[in-house]
Amino acid sequence: MSGVYGDTASPVGRIPRPRATIGPQLSAAARSRPGAGWLSRDDRAALGLWAAAHAALLVLVWAAAWTFRAQQSHAPLTAAFEHWDASWFQNVAQFGYLGPHSMANSIGYLPGYPLAVAAAHVLLRNWVLAELAVSAIAGCFAVVSLARLAGGRRAVLYLLAMPAAIFLMVGYSECLFLAFAIPAWRAGSRGRWWTAGLLAAGAGLVRPDALFLIPALVIMALTGPAGSRVANAARASLGFAGPAAYELYLIAITGRPDAWLRAEKLGWGLHLRPPLQTLKTTWWAAFEHPFSAATAFEFQLELAAMATIIVAALAFGYRQRWAEATYCGLAALALGTSTWYAACPRTLLVLFPVCVALAALEAGRPWIRYAYFGVSLPIAVVLGLSYLAGQWAG
């Protein structure tokens, strides 16, 4: 799926040719309808799915407030959103990185999302609502961009049914990252490389996953139409300006070129390990009973998500979709060489080419849809309730 999605190669089997290269192009008749030039039918359907996901979120919040408490009273509904990374982001938005009230090792969180939350707080005056508003608005851009990239709404449904989908709608940075990353990918696929590079730079200020995305865009440029490949790759490399700017900022305020890696190690115990050792440690945590059953289940999910990312990378590579293979492969490499697998389900959430591929493969194969939703949706509900009850960090 590098370059143009209109050819018939697919990660697994044959993908029917969409009506257009990347995303549906409105016909003249469609453009003549009121409002159709701004939002197509698939765009509106994608936004409808996004709204439905938030309705489901409210149901989960209500359920978590009552079902996970032994006391006679329920928990405040807003308290369901103030867990784990959401609290860290809120702290950074309020106090910065090195203030007297800043949490230790908060520089492990990139500044893009906290800055957006701080801007939203100017209007909303409530930190929880500001976080939810940023994710909700960013999600509108993300789902519409994904529908246009995939040439239909089905990819959005696959995204919103992922096991870790809860983190698209709460105070986490995945949705804002996708709001930059998917348009960057689509811009590159359409040959708009300056736009792709600028959007990728924005993504690089939101999540470290941009370090997988930007090389994939460079590969997309290098494997694209002949004649301007090197120039296009250079434009795509503009995306590195985002993470580079944050690195320079950290050096300026800490005096250490390894400040981010040090924060990851001190705050979460994550540091470089051989891949086999990482696998063994995660397997031990998942099946050798050193932790509670709930924690073991989380590590089992980490293993399953990592396996999915590796299979996706190999499948994309087999079908010579080099940009997608690079994106998924670098993610697997980074996650697979840490202390143990951490946040693999959330990383899978931002690997949007997987959703595009699943939506394309579904044509003529309804069993793919049934199998995916039959497995993913129950897990998504369990994980959503676990996060909202403060029992899972993602």
The pLDDT profile of the chain, 394 residues, written as one tens digit per residue, is 333 333 333 333 333 433 333 333 333 333 333 344 589 999 999 999 999 999 999 999 999 888 877 677 777 788 889 889 999 999 999 999 999 999 999 999 999 999 999 999 999 999 999 999 999 999 999 999 999 999 999 999 999 999 999 999 999 999 999 999 999 999 999 999 999 999 999 999 999 999 999 999 999 999 998 879 999 999 999 999 999 999 999 999 999 999 999 999 999 999 999 999 999 999 999 999 999 998 999 999 999 999 999 999 999 999 999 999 999 999 999 999 999 999 999 999 999 999 999 999 998 899 999 999 999 999 999 999 999 988 888 7
Q: What number of residues does the chain have?
A: 394
387: phi > 0 → left, psi -120 to 50 → alpha, else beta; which?
alpha
Domain coordinates of the chain in residue numbers? 42-388
Q: Where are the alpha helices (DSSP H) in 288-365?
A: 293-318, 322-335, 344-350, 353-361
CB 159 within 8 A of CB 150: no
Is residue 157 within 8 Å of residue 50, measured between CB atoms? no
Q: Which residue has the tokens 């290269």?
A: 21
**Spatial separation of the C-alpha atoms in residues 223 and 209, rounded to whole Å:** 22
Residue appearing with tokens 């693999």: 344
